[in-house]
Amino acid sequence: MAAIVINGKEVAQQIQEELADKVIELKAEGIVPRLATLLVGEDPASQVYIGQKRKACDRLGIISDHQTLSAKITEAELLSIIDGLNNDPEVSGILVQLPVPEHIDSVKILDAISPQKDVDGFHPFNVGKFFTEKSFSDMIDKGLFLPCTPYGIMELLKRYNIPIKGADVVVVGRSNIVGKPITMLLLAADATVTVCHSRTRDLREVCRRADIIVAAIGKPKFVTEDMVKDGAVVIDVGVNRLPEGLVGDVDYVNVSQKASAITPVPGGVGPMTITMLMANTIMAAKNQAMGNK
């Protein structure tokens, strides 16, 4: 039997409708969420991503302030712009679209963003806060900034009623953006998590034990049918451009015949990433307003 398709577009739309209501409530209290985005250079893919984020802001009633900066801007000049946004009380969240030109240290740039406006959830302060929490529900209740893609994965699992507690989960990939944080979020939700990567021994056998596989290794169609046990849930985070079009890190056609549920590419995890960015921006506006009272 073919797998249930986990439709990220539909879930993202549902969450965005809920978030739009929250924005209306905040505006009634005089709180206006505002997201400042910075794009250094004119990378086509980055322009598309920024455009998608600005459109999401418009749909939800979030004010979007965008600056496209010269690829020749110095690191010091970019840091100065970020400092100005940090000190602007009307700005709720700040996002610097990656990648930045090679002459700019991306780590230094991301670290310069105020933790209170770090809606991407990349600042070491925010990473440390959620890494030390034991419970995923406590993270949400305390209004922590969670990295958007892992946060979106957790929402997909929740809204499709996929059990996490006690589940055997294999995460394929160990990046700071997806692999490591989704591991911590799953652990906080009481899953048993194994992290794999390109040097893992017997990777096929490790994956075959999993109730849930999260594929985030950045290699097209890397997870194949023989790596997935019957009835497993497969979450595909990858986005790879091939002559045939966009494909994920999972061999979707064949794995979908074996899994119980699977995310497609495109239309799976991707829409959730932008949606959780909006959720973090709204939360930032609320947190800052409460802090000023």
Catalytically active residues are 53, 97, 120
Q: What are phi and psi of 233, to 5 degrees?
A: -100, 130
| Bridge partner residues of 137 (DSSP) | none
